[in-house]
Structure 1
Amino acid sequence: MKIVVQTPAALGEILQSARKESGMTQAQAAAQLGIGQPRLSALETTGTASLSLEQMLALFALYGLEFHVQSRGPAKPQRARDDTLEW
C-alpha cells in the first residue's frame, strides 16, 4: 500500500496504525526503541513534528514500513550557476 504523508499529524496516524497492526502496545514498542511510553504516545499524536529522522527510521523498521522519496511530478528544470546546485 502507498500512503502520501503531507503533515506531521498524518505521519502520527500512520505510525499508530502500523504499531497496532503489528500487535504491539505503546509500552512494548517504546521498550524496543529505548524510549518511554509517554514519548511514543506524543510521537503518535501531537509530537510527531519533533520526530527525528533517526527515530522515524527506527519506528519504520520496527513496524515493517519502508521510507520512499519520489518527485511529485514533472518539475521545471532549474539552471544552476557553474554547474552546482544551490539549496
Structure 2
Amino acid sequence: MLRVMISTPDQLGQVLQGARKVAGLTQAEAAARLDISQSRISHMELNPETISAGQLLALLGAYDLDLVVQHRAIGEAEIQKFEW
C-alpha cells in the first residue's frame, strides 16, 4: 500500500495529478466522472488551495483513493490503538 504525506497545497496538486494519471484518466475523463469541466480539473490540479472538502473527496473517490488523517507523532504500529 502506498501512502503519501501531504503538507502543502502544492503537494496536494501534484498528488491529485499523479493519482489521475495512475487511474488512467485524462483531465476530460476525470471531469466527465465528476460532471464538471476539464478546465475545472486543470484549475484544481494547478490551484489546489481552491478545492473544497467535498470536491477533494469527490476527486479521491474518482481515483479510487481514501483520505486518511493521522497524528504526526503516531507511528504505523500505533495507528490501530488510536481513537478519536
TM-score scaled by length of structure 2: 0.82
Tell me the residue number matched to 2:57: 57
Q: Distance in 2 between matches of 1:30 and 1:60?
A: 13
Percent identical residues: 44
Report which of the two has the higher share of helix: 2
Number of aligned residue pairs: give it.
73
The structure with more radius of gyration: 1
Q: Distance in 1 between matches of 2:10 and 2:18?
A: 12
CA drift of 1:3 comes to 0.8
SS state of the match for residue 73, structure 2? coil
Q: Distance in 2 between matches of 1:16 and 1:70?
A: 22
TM-score scaled by length of structure 1: 0.79
Unaligned runs of 5+ in 2: 75-84
The CA RMSD over aligned residues, in Å, is: 1.1
